[in-house]
Structure 1
């Protein structure tokens, strides 16, 4: 049975922007290669951590929303654990209300981006 999942992972802050994008691409490709479908991807950027993790106080946050079989989650989390660039991760299955909320949030964000005034200088 295909469920919808959301996974957030924190990449170590010592990476360059290109290395972070490479890490995100690696996990996107892994999900797709294992029969999943990417619904949404958000890069939240470099943020301060609530508490130090591995003596680091900041990290690059990334969110992937996808549809996949349940077996993919175990494999994905194993990949997170093996990758030294990932310092924390959390994956959860979304119920119908969470899916609805995520869709509304994406539409609201897209509408806000399309309504941004363009300055004429």
Structure 2
């Protein structure tokens, strides 16, 4: 199994429960097909660098997961079919990216523990 990272943007016209439902749908696709969720981040609503489908903001979400390569194409087909998703990008992580991601998560966790 390879490790991947996907960032996707949901349309801003969705309510908070609709965004959570969309995220759950894609999480279930990954875990339901033998994948393993490594990390997940909700980045919230952010301004887009340029308008997409006449929208200037969107709900960003990040998944980091381990799956077989065949599932990535299936997941991307579902992203394309879902009209609530306006953009997505999936990247295969090499060993250095995995190491960096783990370090970033550890530092973020330490920072939140100091603040609490």
> For the superposition of Structure 1 and Structure 2, which TM-score range results when normalised by the shorter chain?
over 0.9
Between the two proteins, the alignment pairs up a number of residues equal to 116
* Partner SS state of residue 51, structure 2: strand
The equivalent of 1:49 in structure 2 is: 48
Tell me the TM-score normalized by structure 1: 0.94
RMSD over aligned Cα atoms: 0.6
Tell me the TM-score normalized by structure 2: 0.98
Which runs of 5 or more residues in structure 1 are unaligned? none
Which runs of 5 or more residues in structure 2 are unaligned? none
Distance of 2:78 and 2:59 partners within structure 1: 18
Distance of 2:40 and 2:19 partners within structure 1: 13
Larger Rg: 1
* Partner SS state of residue 38, structure 1: strand
Which aligned runs of 4 or more in structure 1 are off by greater than 3 angstroms? none
Report which of the two has the higher share of helix: 2
